[in-house]
Structures are given as structure tokens and as C-alpha cells.
């Protein structure tokens, strides 16, 4: 772009256009899975991006109203008073739209006491004075008055926000018969219903233009109003004050004091990561490339690809000698292929060294690797495992940038070093181009990755509060070590037991399907919700159920409801079929997961939850069925491995309720846990005012559901649904419960309030989880956040406690030279493979370490079971 090209300033009324988009786009098609409506945001951005792409402005701003109050409402309190409250679904979208624009580098302007159009008028006026070509985009017709040879108005047509009509002076004359500066005169006479500004009755555009042409100006017309004949003349004379008021109010302010001048509005480079983040949150996918495209290269300078120092290739002995001299912290990357190390790279802030991995390297480097010299790594677990397979136990792991990133922002999908380099350094990690067989650009070497990791670590440390840093050092890094051993060990699973059961289930599912087909007289895919809907609601004419995004629900809960109200044999068969095929699926995925050693080696994703829990993948061993007799046959296939004596399972009983008791300090609940009485029986006795022995099964079920529900933020509605009782009864139950255990409610309330103030929740051990939505004006979003915030310290503290126990058990087993090993963690349960003759020692370790993992005001009770398989070992 040469200097001679006139700069173009585009100013947009964000509020009015987003509001139009809100009504133009169906709200149902534009909302996120957690309930945030996005149709106004999407529609606005879509229009805005097209506009920017087409007009290529050099300067840019979007103005918003601050509230419905402005100087105009003070002058005339009825101004816009007829407007209904904007829908709640819309309100929350404006702050998010502003966040989007901020991330895109677009200045967002607001000013107390004036409307967005006054800001546009001021900027347009200043822009013209400074030599800009100005484009004004607004959904308010009053902005027509701004049009000149240098100011063009882009006005949305009735079709919607994507079609913009261009108003030049000629276009205004063509449409209204008068030049733009006279438009407010027309509007003053005609009135503006949407602004609650009544005009002269019976006077429309035609008459107004005729009069104004005839008299030359509005003042002249008003002065000589007595010359107008007929009814309209009388009307005019009666409404002179209204017209003057209208004219006063529809004049846009051109001298609003703004913090930015047009020159300050040059198109800014966008924060691409921030745009990605907020678009991901709003679930905009197709918009992202359009935004990047529209804002083009000049708006999005690619994050610089910073060159890491050239790696110095050395032999292992030289590297080992060099390492021995280093006193500071180093970063380490172990390149892994086929589960084994291939290269080792290390970095200081100004040096990168590498060596190939072989037997001599192992010998030379083992002392440093196993020693306490502090090491920074990225996603260390897989590298720790590779080294362990090669016979080296890594020591001195001081920092993992992936874990630290997750602790800082547990909700973000940062999955690798490239994401972290982008986020924390604002740089681009060099990547090998995967599209080329012989890459032109070599990706970073292991040592260079380490160099980047070291710099990311410094940036993260600057952000880490001390308590979170302690969680990393004292909980997460030792947990990583234990998990590496658990994954390497795997769990022995009997192929035979599984395949036998799978065969049975397949045959059963088949038979059920045949029966079901016979009933409905045709074959359908019972796994297809779509075909099922045809069968249930069209063919069998059962009443429609709960709506889903794509139709009507056919899940187990609604099928059970249907069975109650409209019994039909097909329903029962369908449920049975679901159960059989589900179990078969699970068995199938487990079978595929059995490695050559006859064991399943799951992967624990340490950054897999927002609360601090682990997750388990490939396969997930944290959701193996247990609830009914049938499904326990799957657990029975998890066996003690050859050379070991038995499996031990240990689980915390009611750990979350105990944490509730501790955090709330509720005397009743604390007494319940100290009394040794069955928790639900104790609580039931209090709630229903009977002796513990008199608590009936239904009473126990109710308080049990209530207690568990508390931890999740359950409502009376939800409780009534789960227990299938009247909402009034559920409400009563909650009242009785809180009358006896009031401190629980007080705690839950105050913890959410504290989170609203702090912006995050905290576990007993200092793990944090941010909750920006606690202050959202969107009710759905805010209430979702409130329930999650209520649960996070409880679930998170439980996760912390289990991790601490796991770490200590793992360490004790190693320290005491025992062969027994922890295999699985299922949130509140551990599965240990006990070596021959070690039962007593292992049971002792597990019991005390789990029981002592945290010092709460109630005991941590641990239940231990023993058996040759997982089912038998359960208790």
C-alpha cells in the first residue's frame, strides 16, 4: 500500500448490528454446548469480516452503547422508553463480542452518557478532518445525516445483516429526495416509532420532503406552519414542539470526547491465540479462517519463529562431562521411538547439546539422569517410561511445562510444546513440514525443544502462585513418576474370559434383535437413534419424549419412563439389546488393548480433567462396568499376573462427603463420620427424626441421593426427577436436610461467593480452577459455572488426597524393596498387584498411607479387598 492511497476509516455500531443479527439468526442453531447463545456474535462477526475483507479499511473501530441511559433520556425521558427489555439471551453476547473484537485487535469504544452513533459521528467528523475516507456502518437510520462525499453509510437491508446498502450523498437524494444533512429534518417531522419519538400525524416521508423542498429548511417550515392547509397543517401546528424535540434528539453529537482519535485506530495485529481461544469457547469453527483471511497478512504478523541455538553434537562421554560441570537448571528432552530412547538433548539458556542414545550413552549419562540435578521437561511421562525401559530411573524432575500449563489453565487444550510456546512466548515453534517427504524446514531437534521448554518454564513460573507451584512439586511431579510405573506394569487381563463372554453377549444381542424385529414387523438398526425414533414415535405412536438437538431422546431414562406410561414389549427388548451390545463393545475395546505381555497398559492423562482428577485412555480403565452382576464378569477378567499372589483393592469410602464435612465444619456431619454409624442411616435418622435403626430403605435412598447430589449442586427439580418423587417432596427433603446440616449449605454458598470474588476455586492443597463465568450475565452459563465451582474444591481435594496417597504408597513399595506394585487408579480406588508373601506389608502401607494422606476433621476410611481378580477383590 503506497502512501498516496487515502486511508480508510471504518466505524461500526456494534450494538445495533449485533442486535439485528440476533433476530436474523435462529438462536437454537447458535449456542454452545454449555448454553451460551452466540447468534448475535456470530452474525455480527460474519458481517464484519465480510466488510473488512471487501473494504480493506486501514483504520477500524466498533462502538457500543454503555446502557440504555444517555443524555437523550435525560432531555426526554420517554426516549426509547417503548423499547422492550432486550432478551436475556442477547445481553450476555455483547461482552463476549467485545472480547472477540479485543482479541482481533479491533478497538472497542464506549462512552458513558452517549450512544454508539454519537461516537460514530464524532469519529467520522474527525476522520474527514484528518483526510480519511470514512465508512460508517450502523443499523440506525439517523446516521444518514453523516453521509458526505467523504463519508459513506453502510446500512443493513431488511434481508439481514449480510446485505449492506451503500448510502452516498447521491443515493440518499435518490431514496429520500433530499441531501443527507436534511434527513434529520424529515425524521423529525415523520417521527421515529422505534425511538418513541412521535412525529406529526398523517405526515410521512413524501409530505415531509415536499414541505422541506417548498420551504427550504425546517426552521422556515416551522415558522410558517400556518401556511399549510388542511388536516395535516393543523396537525403540524399542534406538534411543533414534538418536531423541535425530535430534531434536537436525532442530531448526532460530533464532538464527543474520546480517548482515541482516528489516527489511533490503525488496524492492529490480532492476538491469534486469543482469537483461537475465544472462538473455541464459542464453538466457532468456520469463522476462524475467515477472520484470519479478512485481516490478512498485515493484521496478523505470524508469531516470530525464534531460532534456537544450533545444537552441538557430542559423544555421550563429552556430554556427561559437560553436564557434570553445570550447576544451574537444565532442560532435557529424550527423543523416543518405539517406546525407547533414540536421542538425548539438553539445553541451558544459551547452549544446546545432543547425543545419540546407545548402550555407551546409557552408561555415560545414567549418573546425571538418575541424579538429583534439576531438570525441566515437556510431558515427561512418556520419556520417563522410555528411559525406564532402557534401565534408567530419571531423577531430579523439577518442572514439567505441560503440567504447569495445565495447573495454570486447566480448561485450555494446550497439548504440546508448540501450544505453550505460542501462549507463553508468543513465538512459533519450528515445525517440520509434514507435507513434504524431504522436509525443507527441519523441525526443532530434541535439544532445541529443551531450549524452548526452559524459556516456557521461566514464563510459567512467573505466573505460578506459590500454592500452585507447591501442587506441581509436591503432588503432580511425584504422581507422574508413579503413573509411569503403573502404565509400564499394566494389568493382566484374561483374553479367554473376555472372548467367552463376548460370544455369549453377541448371541444374546442377536436373539433380542430378532424378537424386536418380529414385534415391529421389520428390521431396523437398533443402534440408530434416528431409526428408533421412526419406530417409537411414528410406527408405535408412543408419546414424544424429551427433545434433543437432532430429534427426540431414546435414552435409557426416557425409555424407562415410556415403559411406565405406555408399556410396550419393544421397549424392554431395546433396553436389553442396548445393555448387551454396550458390554460387548467394552469387551471388544479391552481385547484390542491387551498387549503381547497379556496385559493392558492404559495411559493416564494427568492433564485430563479440570478438577485435578486423572483421566485414562487407550483404553479407559476408569469406566469398567460394576453396577450389575452381569457386568462384573468383565471385572473378573482383570486378574492377578503370573508371579504375583493376589490383587488388592483399596478405596476411600465417601471421600467427597468427608471433605464436605471437613470444609463445612458441619457438627452434625462430622459427628456422623466419627460415630461409626452408616453415614446415610445416621443422616436419615436426623433428617426424618427417627432412631438410626428405624431408618427404612426408602428413607436411606432419599438421603443418600440428597447427600451425593449436594456435591454436584443438585436442585429440588433434579432430586425429584432422580428419586421419581414430587418436586414438593424433594423441596421438603432439602429443607429438612439443611435444617439439620445447615453448615453444609452455608459452606456451599460461601465457597461459590468467594470464587465469584477471587475468580477461581481452590482445593485444600491449593490447586486452583478459574471460573470467569460466575459473573456472566447469561443465566445458564452462570448457573453452570456455579455448580461446577461448588463441586471443584470437593472433587479436586479428593483427587489431591488420592494422588498424595498414591505417591506415598508407590514410594514405600520401592523403598522397602517390595515387588508389589500399584496398577490402577480409579479416582477413589487403587488396585495393587501383591507379590507373594507381601500381603501384610502391602496392606499396612496402603491402609496407613491412604488414611493419613490428609489431616481432616473426620477420619479417612479405607476399605480393602483381596482376590485373584478385580471382581473378587472388590468388597
Partner DNA sequence: AATCCAACGTA
Partner DNA sequence: CGTACGTTGGATTA
Instruction: List C-alpha distances in Å: 600 to 498, 500, 603.
Output: 13, 18, 10
721 makes contact with DNA (CB under 7 A): yes
715 makes contact with DNA (CB under 7 A): yes
Q: How far, in whole angstroms, is CA 96 from its chain's centroid?
A: 14
- In terms of Cα–Cα distance, which of 169, 170, 136, 165 is closest to 153? 136
Site for DNA in 21-40 (CB under 7 A): 33
Residue 615 CB, nearest distance to DNA (Å)? 3
Q: How far is the CB of 792 from DNA (least distance, A)?
A: 7
Between strands 330-337 and 197-198, the pairing is unpaired
CB closer to DNA, 245 vs 827: 827
485 versus 773: smaller Cβ distance to DNA: 773
Integer Cα distance of 298 and 60 in angstroms: 14
Binding DNA (rule: CB under 7 A), the pick from 198, 201, 500, 718 is 718
**Can residue 416 be called a binding residue for DNA (CB under 7 A)?**
no
Which position among 58, 122, 143, 554 is part of the footprint of DNA (CB under 7 A)?
Answer: 554
Q: At a CB cut-off of 8 Å and minimum separation 6, what does 31 contact?
A: 37, 38, 39
Give the shortest CB-496-to-DNA separation in angstroms. Answer: 20
**Residue 861 is a binding residue for DNA (CB under 7 A):** no
Which residues, at least 6 apart from 665, have a Cβ–Cβ distance to it below 8 Å? 743, 747, 857
Q: Could you say which of 88, 231, 556, 690 contacts DNA (CB under 7 A)?
A: 556
Helix, strand, coil abundance in the chain, percent, nearest 5: 55, 15, 30
The verdict on 578 binding DNA (CB under 7 A) reads yes
* Binding-site string for DNA from residue 269 to residue 308, where x marks contact by CB under 7 A and - marks none: ----------------xx----------------------
Nearest to 116 by CA among 148, 91, 95, 138: 138
Please, which residue, 683 or 780, has the CB nearer to DNA?
780
Using the rule CB under 7 A, is 379 a contact of DNA? no
Binding of residue 105 to DNA (CB under 7 A): no
Cα 176 from Cα 156, distance rounded (Å): 17
Closest listed residue to residue 815, CA positions, set 845, 854, 850: 845
Determine contact, residues 542/536, Cβ cutoff 8 Å. Answer: yes
Q: Which stretch binds DNA (CB under 7 A): 363-371, 476-484, 735-743, 822-830?
A: 822-830
| Cβ closest to DNA, residue 312 vs residue 553 | 553
* Contacts of DNA in 687-706 (CB under 7 A): 705
The 10 Å Cβ neighbour count of residue 751 is 19
Q: What is the dihedral of CA 783, 788, 793, 797, to 10 degrees?
A: 160
Check binding of 527 to DNA (CB under 7 A): yes
C-beta of 221 vs 661, nearer to DNA: 661
By residue count, the chain amounts to 875
- Among 213, 548, 696, 750, contact with DNA (rule: CB under 7 A): 548
β-pairing, 340-347 vs 330-337, is antiparallel
Nearer to DNA, 625 or 777 (CB): 625
The full DSSP string for 603-623 is: EEETT--SSS--EEESS--S-
Select the residue interacting with DNA from 531, 563, 754, 863 (CB under 7 A): 531
Query: From the list 175, 224, 530, 875, which residue makes contact with DNA (rule: CB under 7 A)?
Result: 530
| Residue 46 lies near DNA (rule: CB under 7 A) | no
383, 784, 797, 820: which one binds DNA (CB under 7 A) = 784
787 lies in the binding site for DNA (CB under 7 A): yes
Nearer to DNA, 273 or 631 (CB): 631
Nearer to DNA, 330 or 583 (CB): 583
- Residue 724 within binding range of DNA, rule CB under 7 A: no
How many residues bind DNA (CB under 7 A)? The answer is 66
Helix (H, G, I), strand (E, B), or coil: what is residue 863? strand
Part in contact with DNA (CB under 7 A); list of ranges 20-28, 247-255, 412-420, 786-794: 786-794
Assign 205 to helix, strand or coil: helix
Q: Which of 119/792 has CB closer to DNA?
A: 792
- 797 near DNA (CB under 7 A): no
CA atoms of 710 and 699, how far apart (whole Å) = 17
Residue whose CB is less far from DNA, 484 or 574: 574
Burial 59-94 (b: 16+ CB within 10 A, else e): bbbbbbbeeeebebbeebeebbeeeeeeeebbbbbb
Query: Of 160 and 529, which has the nearer Cβ to DNA?
Result: 529
CB closer to DNA out of 321 and 560: 560
> Which H helix or E strand runs over 208?
helix 205-215
Residue 430 vs 684, nearer CB to DNA: 684
Nearest alpha-carbon partner for 190 in 117, 254, 253, 250: 250
- C-beta of 329: minimal distance to DNA in Å? 31
Interacting stretch for DNA, rule CB under 7 A, among 122-130, 316-324, 466-474, 584-592?
A: 584-592
Please tell me whether residue 631 binds DNA under the rule CB under 7 A. yes
Interacting residue with DNA among 67, 163, 194, 528 (CB under 7 A): 528
| SS3 label, residue 624 | coil
Tell me if 826 contacts DNA by CB under 7 A: yes
Residue indicated by cell numbers 431395546? 574
d(Cα 488, Cα 602) in Å, to the nearest integer?
9
Q: Rule CB under 7 A: is residue 499 a binding residue for DNA?
A: no
**Angle, CA of 589, 591 and 597, to the nearest 5°:** 130
Told to check if 557 binds DNA by CB under 7 A, we report yes
CB of 830 to DNA, least distance (A): 11
Strand partners, 647: 833, 867
Distance from C-alpha of 271 to C-alpha of 412, rounded to nearest angstrom: 16
d(CA 482, CA 384): 10
Does position 791 bind DNA by CB under 7 A?
yes
Residue 677 DSSP class: S
Q: Pick from 537, 708, 738, 839: which binds DNA (CB under 7 A)?
A: 708
SS3 assignment for 728-748: HHHHHHHHHHHHHCHHHHHHH
Give 708 or 839: the residue with its C-beta nearer to DNA: 708
- 619 sits near DNA (criterion: CB under 7 A): yes
User: Is residue 393 part of the contact set for DNA (CB under 7 A)?
Assistant: no
795 binds DNA (CB under 7 A): yes
Extract the C-alpha cell encoding 434.
509434514
Minimal distance, residue 701 CB to DNA, in Å: 12
Q: Does 589 bind DNA (CB under 7 A)?
A: yes
Q: In whole angstroms, give the CA distance from residue 68 to residue 195.
A: 11
Given 225, 401, 624, 830, the residue binding DNA (CB under 7 A): 624
Signed CA dihedral, 471, 474, 475, 478: sign only = positive
| Cα 551 to the center of its chain, rounded Å | 25
The site string for DNA over 829-848 (x = CB under 7 A, - otherwise) reads x-------------------
Helix (H, G, I), strand (E, B) or coil at 305: coil
Give contact residues for DNA (rule: CB under 7 A): 33, 285-286, 525, 527-531, 548-550, 553-557, 578-579, 582, 585-586, 588-589, 592, 605, 608-611, 613, 615-620, 622-627, 631, 705, 708-709, 712-715, 717-718, 721-722, 780, 784, 787-788, 791-792, 795, 826-829
Amino acid at each position: 500500500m503506497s502512501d498516496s492511497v487515502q486511508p480508510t476509516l471504518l466505524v461500526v455500531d456494534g450494538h445495533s448490528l449485533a442486535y439485528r443479527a440476533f433476530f436474523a439468526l435462529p438462536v437454537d442453531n447458535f449456542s454452545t454446548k454449555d448454553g451460551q447463545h452466540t447468534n448475535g456474535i456470530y452474525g455480527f462477526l460474519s458481517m464484519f469480516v465480510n466488510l473488512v475483507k471487501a473494504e480493506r479499511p486501514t483504520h477500524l473501530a466498533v462502538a457500543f452503547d454503555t446502557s440504555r441511559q444517555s443524555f437523550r433520556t435525560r432531555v426526554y425521558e420517554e426516549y426509547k422508553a417503548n423499547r422492550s427489555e432486550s432478551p436475556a439471551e442477547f445481553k450476555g453476547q455483547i461482552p463476549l463480542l467485545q472480547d472477540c473484537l479485543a482479541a482481533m485487535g479491533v478497538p472497542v469504544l464506549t462512552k458513558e452518557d452517549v450512544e454508539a452513533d454519537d461516537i460514530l459521528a464524532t469519529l467520522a467528523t474527525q476522520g474527514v478532518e484528518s483526510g480519511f475516507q470514512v465508512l460508517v456502518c450502523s443499523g440506525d437510520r439517523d446516521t444518514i445525516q453523516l453521509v458526505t462525499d467523504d463519508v459513506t453509510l453502510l446500512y443493513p437491508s431488511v434481508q439481514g445483516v449480510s446485505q449492506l446498502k451503500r448510502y452516498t450523498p447521491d443515493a440518499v437524494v435518490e431514496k429520500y429526495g433530499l441531501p443527507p444533512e436534511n434527513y434529520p429534518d424529515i425524521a423529525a417531522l415523520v417521527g421515529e416509532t422505534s425511538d418513541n419519538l412521535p412525529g406529526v400525524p398523517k405526515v410521512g416521508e413524501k409530505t415531509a420532503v415536499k414541505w422541506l423542498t417548498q420551504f427550504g429548511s425546517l426552521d422556515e417550515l416551522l415558522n410558517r406552519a400556518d401556511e399549510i392547509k388542511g388536516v395535516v397543517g393543523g396537525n403540524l401546528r399542534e406538534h411543533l414542539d414534538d418536531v423541535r424535540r425530535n430534531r434536537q434528539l436525532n442530531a448526532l453529537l460530533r464532538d464527543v470526547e474520546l480517548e482515541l482519535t482516528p489516527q489511533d485506530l490503525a488496524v492492529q495485529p490480532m492476538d491469534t491465540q486469543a482469537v483461537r481461544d475465544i472462538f473455541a469457547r464459542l464453538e466457532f469453527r468456520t469463522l476462524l479462517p475467515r477472520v484470519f483471511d479478512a485481516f490478512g497478512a498485515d493484521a496478523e504478523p505470524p508469531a516470530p519463529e525464534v531460532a534456537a541455538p544450533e545444537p552441538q553434537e557430542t559423544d555421550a562421554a563429552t556430554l556427561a562431562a559437560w553436564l557434570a560441570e553445570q550447576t544451574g537448571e537444565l532442560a532435557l528432552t529424550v527423543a523416543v521411538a518405539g517406546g525407547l530412547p533414540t536421542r538425548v538433548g539438553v539445553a541451558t539458556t544459551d547452549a544446546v547439546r545432543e547425543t545419540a542414545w546407545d548402550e555407551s550413552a546409557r552408561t555415560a549419562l545414567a549418573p546425571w539422569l538418575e541424579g538429583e540435578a534439576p531438570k525441566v521437561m515437556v510431558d515427561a511421562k512418556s520419556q520417563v517410561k522410555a528411559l525406564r525401559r532402557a534401565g534408567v530411573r530419571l531423577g531430579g524432575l523439577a518442572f514439567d511445562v505441560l503440567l504447569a500449563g495445565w495447573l495454570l489453565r486447566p480448561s485450555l487444550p494446550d497439548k504440546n510444546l508448540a501450544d505453550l510456546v505460542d501462549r507463553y512466548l508468543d513465538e512459533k515453534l519450528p515445525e517440520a513440514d509434514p507435507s513434504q517427504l524431504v522436509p525443507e524446514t527441519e523441525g526443532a531437534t530434541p535439544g532445541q525443544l529443551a531450549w524452548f521448554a526452559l524459556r516456557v518454564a521461566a514464563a510459567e513460573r512467573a505466573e505460578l502462585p506459590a500454592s500452585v507451584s507447591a501442587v506441581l512439586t509436591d503432588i503432580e511431579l511425584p504422581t507422574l513418576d508413579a503413573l509411569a510405573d503403573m502404565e509400564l506394569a499394566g494389568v493382566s487381563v484374561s483374553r479367554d474370559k473376555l472372548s467367552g463372554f463376548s460370544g455369549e453377549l453377541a448371541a444374546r444381542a442377536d436373539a433380542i434383535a430378532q424378537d424386536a424385529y418380529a414385534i415391529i414387523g421389520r428390521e431396523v438398526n437398533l443402534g440408530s437413534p434416528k431409526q428408533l425414533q421412526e419406530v417409537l414415535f411414528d410406527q408405535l405412536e408412543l408419546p414424544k419424549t424429551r427433545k434433543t438437538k437432532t430429534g427426540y431422546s431414546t435414552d435409557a431414562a426416557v425409555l424407562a419412563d415410556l415403559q411406565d406410561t405406555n408399556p410396550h414389549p419393544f421397549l424392554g427388548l431395546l433396553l436389553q439389546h442396548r445393555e448387551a451390545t454396550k458390554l460387548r463393545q467394552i469387551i471388544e475395546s479391552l481385547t484390542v488393548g491387551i498387549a503381547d505381555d497379556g496385559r493392558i497398559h492404559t495411559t493416564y492423562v494427568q492433564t485430563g480433567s479440570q478438577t485435578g482428577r486423572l483421566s485414562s485412555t487407550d483404553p479407559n480403565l476408569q469406566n469398567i462396568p460394576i453396577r450389575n452382576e452381569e457386568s462384573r464378569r468383565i471385572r473378573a477378567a482383570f486378574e492377578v499376573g503370573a508371579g504375583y499372589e493376589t490383587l488388592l483393592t483399596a478405596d476411600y469410602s465417601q471421600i467427597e462427603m468427608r471433605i464436605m464435612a471437613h470444609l463445612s465444619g458441619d457438627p452434625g456431619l462430622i459427628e456422623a463420620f466419627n460415630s461409626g454409624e452408616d453415614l446415610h442411616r445416621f443422616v436419615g435418622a436426623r433428617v426424618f427424626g427417627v432412631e438410626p435403626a428405624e431408618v427404612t430403605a426408602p428413607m436411606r435412598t432419599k438421603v443418600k441421593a440428597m447427600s451425593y447430589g449436594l456435591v454436584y449442586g443438585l436442585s429440588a427439580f433434579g432430586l425429584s426427577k432422580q428419586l421419581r418423587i414430587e418436586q414438593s417432596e424433594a423441596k421438603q427433603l432439602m429443607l429438612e436436610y439443611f435444617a439439620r446440616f445447615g453448615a453444609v449449605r452455608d459452606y456451599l454458598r460461601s465457597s461459590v461467593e468467594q470464587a465469584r470474588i477471587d475468580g477461581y476455586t481452590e482445593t485444600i492443597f491449593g490447586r486452583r480452577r478459574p471460573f470467569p463465568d460466575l459473573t456472566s450475565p447469561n443465566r445458564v452459563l452462570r448457573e453452570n459455572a456455579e455448580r461446577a465451582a461448588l463441586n471443584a474444591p470437593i472433587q479436586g481435594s479428593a483427587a489431591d488426597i488420592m494422588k498424595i496417597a498414591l505417591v506415598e504408597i508407590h514410594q514405600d513399595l520401592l523403598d522397602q524393596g517390595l515387588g508389589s506394585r500399584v496398577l490402577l487408579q480409579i479416582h477413589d480406588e487403587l488396585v495393587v498387584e501383591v507379590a507373594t508373601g507381601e500381603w501384610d506389608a502391602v496392606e499396612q502401607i496402603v491402609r496407613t498411607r491412604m488414611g493419613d494422606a490428609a489431616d481432616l476433621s473426620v477420619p479417612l476410611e479405607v476399605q480393602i479387598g483381596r482376590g485373584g481378580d478385580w471382581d473378587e477383590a472388590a468388597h
